[in-house]
Amino acid sequence: MNDDEERLESLSARLKERQMAEKFKIQDIENKLEQAEAMTLRLLDSSHGETDSIEEARVIAETCVTVLAECVQVLGVNDVKITATFSDGNVPKSKLLQ
């Protein structure tokens, strides 16, 4: 093996290591986001029964979205967008809380 082939093999191995590390990092973030979602749903279940008004439902939804957003912020993930999906389209979190 000549120097160029050894260098190429070394660079290829380093690239593979970096790709694996990035894959594990993404999987870890996905797991943490799933945990944050589960925590939010548990908060909803434990804190609130059935709601009698639209205003109560909105307050509950706002609380859940706020908790989820705080979990995402704690994880240090800045590029995650939280949206609510309704039959007539998606609403970004910033508009959902208004």
What b-and-e string marks burial along 58-85, b requiring 16 or more CB atoms within 10 Å of the CB?
eeeeeebbebbbebbeeeeeeeeeeeee
Q: Is the pLDDT of residue 97 over 60?
A: no
The average pLDDT across 59-87 equals 73
Q: Tens of pLDDT along 9-57?
A: 999 999 999 999 988 888 888 888 788 777 777 766 666 556 566 677 6
How much of the chain is helix, strand and coil, in % rounded to 5?
70, 10, 20
Check: CB of residue 57 under 8 Å from CB of residue 85.
no
Q: Is the pLDDT confidence value at 96 over 60?
A: no
- Total domain count for the chain? 1
Give the separation between CA 73 and CA 59, rounded to whole angstroms: 21
What's at 66, amino acid-wise? T
pLDDT > 90 fraction of the chain, expressed in percent and rounded? 12
The residue range of the domain holding 14 is 3-96
Q: Between 13 and 63, whose confidence is greater?
A: 13
